[in-house]
Amino acid sequence: MKIFGITGWKNSGKTGLMERLVAHFAAKGLRVSTLKHTHHSVDLERPGTDTHRHREAGAQEVVLASSARVSILHELRETDEPRLTDLIARLTPCDLVLVEGFKSAPHPKIEAHRASAGEALLAPKNHTIRAVASDTPLPALGLPVFDLDDTDAIAAFIEVATGMTPRSAPKLANDCFALPPGVNWTPVDEALETLESRLSPITGTEMIPVADARDRILASDHMAARANPPGANAAVDGYGFAYAGLPDGDNIKVPLVDGRAAAGTPFSGTVPMGHAIRILTGALLPDGVDTVVMQEDVQVDGSIISFPAGVKPGANARAAGEDVAAGKLALPAGHKMRAPDVALLSALGIADAEVHARLRVGVLSTGDELAEPGTTLDVARTYDANRPMLLSLAENWGYLPVDLGHVADDRDKLRQAFDDAATKADVILTSGGASAGDEDHVSALLEQTGSLHHWRIAIKPGRPLALAQWNGTPVFGLPGNPVAALITTLIFARPAFSKLAGGPWLTPQAFDLPAAFSKSKKAGRREYLRARLNKDGHAEVFKSEGSGRISGLSWATGLVELPDEALKITPGTPVRFLPYTGFGLT
């Protein structure tokens, strides 16, 4: 369910706007529900009615039903304020929930504003406010400002902000894969720079719960909804006091006040100067406390504590906002969410994240010789290894793998497969048939689009990469050989896909290690060897460089990257090791 809010002061016109938006979306055939927060304690029914009597008698929930509508009354006995997420969980699934009020809940909202009402704007102090709807033009706010009566424009904004309509992403330029003319073999770095400068995000955006956001790429800057920590608190279990009130001497003695401060159960009184209070980790510092001494350093004698002099002012106390101040950037647009980032946004009160839609990576295998693994004993057939490998890589990278199957070397079937692929995927990854030979049908077909560029890259292993667009969808035509297919995918497709998905350009993690092998490398091509660390932590390489040796890919835990220049390597020569994990390959 998409959730969007309208907030604003009293008489700001928010209910009128809600009404018009509900009517607007309902007229479009959407199922819209609303949620409204109110500050005054409304009585939802008159005393003396049957249901009122049921509730008064102690029923937890009372359902009042007629043939026209059903009302569920739920008594909040111990809880003081209902939480928006709990309320939403009670709703029947629908297309859009419009929320009126709940201005400190973390869902995105528009602030309704009537200058005549004379109230100050909540935005941009409240970062969850994404736009303002005002009855008078406003000075620049850094937020979109709509005319309060322009329901169509406000509705269109809500559709984009909630991901009901993905934010339209510009298509790639038609010639985005053109290489500078005159170059015969393109060095790897130049090929990478070309891709980096030509590619841009092609995915729309949506709002999703932060708890579900691992592997997703943030589509906007996310600001702290409140500070971390929200209030000054104790970093250890111990005793708290005002530093300025400590007596002099080597062994300090201080009387304890009654009560204690614990996490979630603050001490509401003030600790007088010269007194201390029992305090536990995470407890808010009570008034009159700025310093905490660890319990391990303290002797307790009835209601007197003593500890050696030397405690520093402010020791073991965490200041409010010392980690992140409210309103400060928590994570920037383009950041890919990992488990620690889920923790950060959650700690800062951000429950929903605006993320890019997952990049749909379509994977197609081509070749007459291919068969599904295990389906034939015919030695003339090759089991399709690339498709499962590339689909699993796409998933590894947090994208949506789309299995486009296998197509024989048949131009018409291939054309159909590309037509189908362009509707199901944002980017198409093919393997096989990408060179310029008689049986290279992928190349031949892409040639007809006029957008094909054969990238003859100075890389080993690897044959030309065929880059093109099919009905506007970028196509990466990889060599069929699984070793070359994997290496070209890791080196070229990985950073390219990240950019297409709204993330940063990626450079693989690399570090220098002593070689555990010997090799004379000629100048001209960058080489990638299947490698792993031996027991001494040196880089050993697979026994064969044969490009058909798929087992070496599996034997390895990374690649050794040898520079374009000539190089003589003997055991101990430093070489660059690129671990598989640095390619997001796990």
Residues binding Mg ion (CB under 5 A): 367, 432-433, 480
- Find the part of the chain contacting ligand AMP (CB under 6 A) among 80-88, 196-204, 362-370, 395-403: 362-370
By beta-carbon proximity to ligand AMP, the closer residue of 464 and 503 is 464
Cβ burial 193-215 (10 Å sphere, 16+ → b, else e): ebbeebbebbbbbbbbebeebeb
Q: How far is the CB of 549 from ligand AMP (least distance, A)?
A: 12
CB atoms within 10 A of CB 316: 19
3-class DSSP state of 569: strand
Q: Smaller CB distance to ligand AMP: residue 334 or 464?
A: 464
How far, in Å, are 73, 283, 406, 471 from residue 452 at the CA level?
A: 64, 64, 21, 12
The tokens for 187 are 């060095």
> Which amino acid appears at position 546 of this protein?
G
Site string for ligand AMP, 314-353 (x = CB under 6 A): ----------------------------------------
Based on the shown chain and the rule CB under 6 A, indicate whether residue 481 belongs to the binding site for ligand AMP.
Answer: yes
Instruction: Count residues near ligand AMP (CB under 6 A).
Output: 17
Distance CA 312, CA 315 (A): 5
Contact 276, 240 (CB under 8 A): yes
- Provide DSSP, 80-129: SS--HHHHHHHSPP-SEEEEES-TTSSS-EEEEE-GGGTPPP-TTTSTTE
Count the neighbouring beta carbons within 10 Å of the beta carbon of residue 559.
28
488 binds, among ligand AMP, Mg ion, none (CB under 5 to 8 A by kind): none
The beta strand positions in 384-462, using DSSP E, are 400-407, 427-431, 453-455, 459-460
Of the pair 229, 433, the CB lying nearest ligand AMP is at 433
**Interacting residue with ligand AMP among 201, 367, 502, 558 (CB under 6 A):** 367
Q: Which option in Mg ion, ligand AMP, none does residue 135 bind, with CB closer than 5 to 8 A by kind?
A: none
| Among candidate residues 473, 464, 500, the one with its CA nearest the CA of residue 418 | 473
- In contact, 491 and 582? CB cutoff 8 Å: no
For 479-533, list the strands marked E by DSSP. Answer: 511-514, 519-521, 526-533
Identify the residue among 384, 527, 540, 561 touching ligand AMP (CB under 6 A). Answer: 384
Amino acid at 269: G
Among 201, 480, 495, 558, binds ligand AMP (CB under 6 A): 480
Minimum distance from CB of 86 to Mg ion (Å)?
A: 57
Q: Any contact of residue 369 with ligand AMP (CB under 6 A)?
A: yes
Nearest CB to Mg ion, comparing residues 480 and 558: 480
Using the minimum distance from each CB to ligand AMP, give the nearer residue, 349 or 461: 461
* Residue with smallest beta-carbon separation from ligand AMP: 480
Minimum CB separation of residue 409 from Mg ion in Å reads 6
The Cα–Cα gap between 538 and 542 comes to 13
**Helix, strand, or coil here: 417?**
helix
Q: What is the smallest separation between the CB atom of 420 and ligand AMP, expressed in angstroms?
A: 18
What is the smallest separation between the CB atom of 380 and ligand AMP, expressed in angstroms? Answer: 10
Q: Which residues contact 57 (CB under 8 A, 6 or more apart)?
A: none
Q: Is 370 in the site for ligand AMP (CB under 6 A)?
A: yes
Residue from 7, 162, 386, 473 in contact with ligand AMP (CB under 6 A): 386
Residues 417-476 that bind ligand AMP (CB under 6 A): 431-434
Residues that bind ligand AMP (CB under 6 A): 365, 367, 369-370, 382, 384-387, 431-434, 479-482
